[in-house]
């Protein structure tokens, strides 16, 4: 029996080695028969998927392409076809405005998703960096994308009737706290820039904290734009490392989401562990507890909004600001904070938000109930969350502010395309731009190919 099992194991290894390397650089290119966000209700949508980057021919019967179609309304269809060099075509349509999603994975005979292996030379510094990038990336051979139908007609969930009154009260709390700060100069990563650890007083439980970078040319009287940079979701990993690079043509303030104590102000490992517990609620990571989110004044996002606004106020007090250009930038949760920054009344002139999180949270929560297209990483809806939804802040962005949604993934169901479309629709003015990326998930962008990006705006 042992000999038989050993023989079978050897045979499986031999089979795997026979095709080793074939798929290690492979990826799936997906295109639609027209602009993927330009379809009409009832119009046929045709996807074409092709396997690229193969190192040899596909052996008969070894691999299959598993696919799944889902949409905003709960319709699901899936199947499996033999993997071949011939493109796979799939046709569908929608009977009302929204998005359809198509996923596809290369699987083996047992239906297991194939995982690529690193084939570079990790003995060189460049190879080691490439290996590290590979190890932190998704290793499947897959496509995850979609198409939109009459998305310009999509409307977000109605906002709270007292939205503006609520925020006037919150900002009044902030106004009672003077803009006092502490700065500790630290070693700068750039010779032409001074770097500081910063703490700024704020309303709420914690201050604004982060790292400030100021060009040394300010000492000679030069003035620059100011930029606020915000962070993505950190779960329980509450730390803030100083960035390794800084621009010498702008003043940049890189803040964390929590107002955590920095090491330059005496933070220890014990402080970090304590904050990890402090930001949790009912054993949920921050911002996810529906009981906490039932009250808009104690929702975790409340303090985050106030810290974003205070950070902008602080930037405007700095020597070296040109008094004109105020930028905001962030990705995912940082993108959410970027929209807050643009809409909170501090005169932001340019905002770049990447894969913006939490757009139309009411709809995201509803998609879980009807098992619509989604990956499930959504905050459970409460009416109080309407005060924090970026689709509502978007309506308050001044027309003079340039808004750039620099990536909206058609396969990103952490930040679903439906919410991004509603965010775009709610931004006033004409100085705005959004880049829809076919085949892009939240943390993945496919290799470039013609027709991948669909751009709206200027």
Kindly tell me if the per-residue pLDDT of 372 is higher than 80: no
The pair of structure tokens assigned to 65 is 């392409």
pLDDT tens, residue by residue, 434-448: 999 999 999 999 987
Instruction: Set out the domains of the chain in order of their start, with CATH numbers.
Output: 2-153 (2.60.40.1930), 163-457 (3.40.50.1820)
Give the pLDDT score at 323: 98
* pLDDT cut 70: percent of the chain above it: 94
CA–CA dist 306, 304 (Å, integer): 5
pLDDT band at 347 (very low <50, low <70, confident <90, very high): very high
The pair of structure tokens assigned to 385 is 């969350």
CA–CA dist 182, 155 (Å, integer): 44
Mean of pLDDT values over 417-428? 98
Kindly tell me if the per-residue pLDDT of 449 is higher than 80: no
Give pTM, 2 decimals: 0.93
Kindly tell me if the per-residue pLDDT of 422 is higher than 50: yes
Q: What are phi and psi of 342, to 5 degrees?
A: -70, -30
| Mean pLDDT of the chain, nearest integer | 92
Mean of pLDDT values over 4-9? 40
Dihedral through CA 130, CA 135, CA 139, CA 143, nearest 10? -70
pLDDT band at 55 (very low <50, low <70, confident <90, very high): confident
Determine which of 53-62, 304-313, 321-330 has the lowest per-residue pLDDT on average: 53-62
How far CA 398 is from CA of 63, 349, 419, 432, in Å, comes to 53, 8, 20, 11
């Amino acid at each position: 029996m042992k000999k038989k099992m050993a023989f079978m194991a050897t045979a499986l290894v031999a089979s795997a080695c026979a095709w080793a390397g074939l798929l290690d650089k492979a990826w799936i290119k997906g295109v639609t028969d027209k602009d993927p966000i330009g379809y009409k209700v009832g119009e046929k949508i045709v996807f074409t998927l092709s396997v690229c980057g193969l190192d040899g021919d596909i052996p008969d019967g070894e691999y299959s392409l598993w696919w799944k179609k889902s949409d905003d309304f709960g319709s699901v269809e899936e199947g499996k076809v033999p993997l071949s060099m011939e493109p796979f075509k799939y046709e569908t349509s929608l009977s009302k405005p929204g998005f359809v999603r198509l996923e596809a994975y290369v699987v083996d005979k047992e239906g297991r998703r194939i995982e690529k292996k690193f084939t570079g030379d990790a003995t060189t510094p460049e190879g080691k960096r490439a290996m590290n990038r590979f190890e932190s990336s998704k290793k499947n051979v897959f496509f995850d994308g979609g198409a939109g139908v009459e998305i310009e007609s999509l409307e977000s969930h109605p906002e709270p009737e007292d939205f503006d009154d609520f925020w006037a009260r919150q900002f009044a709390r902030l106004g009672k706290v003077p803009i006092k700060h502490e700065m500790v100069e630290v070693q700068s990563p750039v010779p032409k820039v001074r770097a500081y650890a910063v703490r700024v007083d704020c309303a709420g439980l914690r201050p604004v904290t982060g790292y400030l970078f100021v060009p040394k040319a300010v000492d000679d009287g030069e003035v620059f734009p100011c930029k606020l940079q915000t962070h993505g979701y950190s779960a329980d990993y509450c730390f803030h490392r100083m960035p390794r690079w800084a621009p010498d043509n702008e003043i940049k303030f890189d803040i964390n989401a929590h107002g955590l104590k920095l090491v330059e102000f005496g933070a220890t490992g014990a402080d970090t562990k304590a904050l990890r517990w402090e930001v949790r609620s009912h054993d949920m990571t921050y911002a996810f507890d529906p009981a906490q989110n039932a009250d808009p004044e104690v929702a975790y996002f409340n303090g985050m909004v106030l810290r974003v606004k205070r950070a902008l106020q602080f930037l405007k007090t700095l020597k070296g600001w040109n008094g004109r250009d105020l930028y905001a930038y962030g990705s995912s949760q940082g993108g959410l904070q970027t929209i807050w920054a643009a809409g909170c009344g501090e005169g932001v002139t340019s905002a770049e938000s990447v894969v913006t999180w939490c757009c139309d949270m009411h709809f995201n929560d509803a998609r879980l109930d009807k098992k619509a297209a989604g990956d499930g990483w959504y905050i459970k809806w409460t009416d109080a969350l309407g005060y924090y939804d970026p689709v509502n802040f978007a309506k308050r962005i001044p027309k003079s502010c340039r808004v750039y949604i620099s990536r909206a993934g058609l396969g990103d169901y952490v930040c679903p395309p439906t919410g991004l479309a509603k965010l775009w629709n709610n931004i006033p003015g004409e100085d705005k731009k959004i880049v829809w990326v076919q085949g892009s998930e939240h943390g993945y962008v496919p290799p470039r190919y013609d027709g991948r990006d669909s751009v709206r705006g200027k």
